[in-house]
């Protein structure tokens, strides 16, 4: 078995890991300030989904941040109490836009931990969000796990998974107010 694994490794080393492909072209060109830095793309993510009641979002700008095939994965308990993850994509998220726009939704970053290796960056971004429920603004918090890719020219969002804070799953204090 050991020799088989080494043979696979040697074979893989002699072949390019990826066939060279053209960089993805978003339907709308991204704003340079949105994709030139980790700070820029994280700020754009929060900015583009936030707005007051009745305010239309710039969904072309939203789409321009995501790498083709990107996933958005909310996690949490379903009505039966089971912890679940639901896969969606940016267009699925946009399909919920009428609800966001009708009720208003504001989300801002309140802490961040960032790690980078080569072309990949992981951002653990703590958020605070508010939305209208029966005429009153309700606040919630959680953490977005954002995977970014830098292609040598710009940052792309590969995936975002998030989990909201609950009484039995509070956000640890070290994830609030810190940016690194």
* Domain-wise residue ranges, the chain: 32-175
Q: For residue 161, give the 3-state DSSP assignment.
A: strand
Is residue 164's pLDDT more than 50?
yes
Task: From the options 3.90.230.10, 3.90.180.10, 3.10.450.50, 3.30.420.10, give the CATH code of 32-175.
Answer: 3.10.450.50
Residue at token pair 């696979």: 8
Is residue 157's pLDDT more than 80?
yes
d(CA 180, CA 174): 12
Query: Per-residue pLDDT averaged across 92-110, rounded?
Result: 90
Which pLDDT tens digit goes with each residue over 19-42?
444 556 556 799 999 999 999 999
Q: What is the pLDDT of residue 24?
A: 60
Q: What is the Cβ-side half-sphere exposure of residue 17, based on CA atoms within 13 angstroms?
A: 1
DSSP state of 104: -
Which pLDDT tens digit goes with each residue over 40-73?
999 999 999 999 999 999 999 999 999 999 999 9
Q: What is the pLDDT of residue 143?
A: 98
Task: Residue 122: name the closest of 84, 91, 161, 151 by CA.
Answer: 161
Task: Residue 44: name the closest of 59, 28, 27 by CA.
Answer: 59
């Amino acid at each position: 078995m050991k020799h088989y694994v080494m043979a696979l490794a040697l074979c893989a080393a002699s072949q390019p890991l990826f066939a060279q492909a053209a960089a993805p072209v978003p339907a709308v060109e991204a704003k340079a300030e949105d994709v030139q830095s980790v700070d820029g793309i994280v700020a754009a993510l929060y900015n583009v989904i936030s707005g007051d009641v009745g305010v239309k979002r710039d969904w072309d700008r939203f789409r321009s941040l995501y790498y083709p095939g990107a996933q958005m994965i909310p996690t949490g308990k379903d009505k039966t109490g089971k912890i679940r993850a639901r896969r969606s994509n940016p267009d699925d998220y946009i399909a919920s836009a009428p609800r966001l726009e009708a009720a208003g939704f504001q989300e801002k970053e309140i802490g961040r931990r960032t790690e980078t290796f080569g072309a990949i960056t992981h951002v653990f971004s703590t958020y605070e969000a508010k939305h209208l429920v029966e005429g009153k603004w309700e606040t919630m918090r959680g953490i977005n796990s954002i995977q970014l890719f830098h292609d040598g020219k710009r940052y792309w969002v590969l995936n975002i998974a998030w989990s909201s804070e609950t009484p039995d799953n509070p956000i640890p204090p070290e994830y609030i107010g810190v940016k690194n």
